[in-house]
Amino acid sequence: MAMGLICLHGRIVMSAISKTVLSFMLLAASVSGVHATGAGSGTIAFEGEILEAACSIKPGDSDQTIQLGEIAKSQLALGGSSRSKEISIELTGCSITGLADKTVSATFTGAASADVSGALGIAGDAKGAGIMLVDGSGTAITLGAPTQVQLLQAGDNTLVFNAYLKGKATGDITPGRFAAVTNFSLAYL
């Protein structure tokens, strides 16, 4: 099941007259609500998934958005790269009994970059770059292949990865907005 996040941004500007009108409307609404019965209702939905897994993924860590920010075109020239951003996946309530090696590995998948070997492809107006994923020791992650295993301990664990934008080695880089998506799966050994 895929899940997403929608962020709405805007600005509200009120004049002094609008504030006065709003104050009277709020006063009228609060007075009329005093005599109302059944003053409101709603629905709360709960979703989740029960897995046959050694650990739970902390809520919010299974779907993340990593902001790489604004990167100067010159920084990416000749295979240059942006600063890396940390990606943390927190595992909670890990029970390592029954795990032979007491380890976990992650596999990241997604569309490969046509411009940068080993990178995740980007979509949007920007061209000539790709997103590199690396493990905690700085080793490049191969899309579709398991990462190096990380030792688990009972309780809580944090898997740490990094991502950065890398420019292609030759040719022009086109400025513009970009986005990319990678999915990950965990394997407990």
Q: What is the pLDDT of residue 96?
A: 92
Distance between CA atoms of residues 163 and 147, nearest Å:
14
Q: What is the dihedral of CA 139, 143, 145, 148, to 10 degrees?
A: 20
pLDDT at 43: 76
pLDDT at residue 40, as a whole number: 78
Residue-level pLDDT at 61: 87
Task: Quote the pLDDT of residue 36.
Answer: 52
CB–CB of 79/168 below 8 Å? yes
Q: How high is the pLDDT of residue 49?
A: 77
pLDDT of residue 35: 52
pLDDT value of position 39: 75
Q: Which residues of the chain have pLDDT under 70?
A: 1-38
The secondary structure of residue 78, as a DSSP letter, is G
Angstrom CA distances, 115 to 82, 118, 131, 168, 179, stand at 16, 9, 10, 6, 15
Alpha carbon distance 28, 47 (integer Å): 38
Written as six digits, the tokens of 9 are: 């941004």
Max CA distance (Å), the chain = 73
Model pLDDT for residues 56-78, shown as the tens digit of each residue: 999 888 889 999 999 999 999 99
Give tens-digit pLDDT for 72-110.
999 999 999 999 999 999 999 999 998 999 999 999 999
Q: Give the pLDDT of residue 82.
A: 97
Supply the pLDDT for residue 2. Answer: 25
Residue 157 three-state SS: strand
Name the strand (E) or helix (H) holding 187: strand 183-188
Domains and CATH numbers, the chain: 56-188 (2.60.40.1090)
- Look at residue 37 in the predicted model and tell me its pLDDT: 63
pLDDT of residue 12: 26
Spatial separation of the C-alpha atoms in residues 88 and 157, rounded to whole Å: 10
- State the pLDDT at residue 113: 97
d(CA 106, CA 11): 41
Q: Quick one: DSSP state of residue 120?
A: E
Burial of 92: CB neighbours in 10 Å, binned 0-12, 13-18, 19+: middle
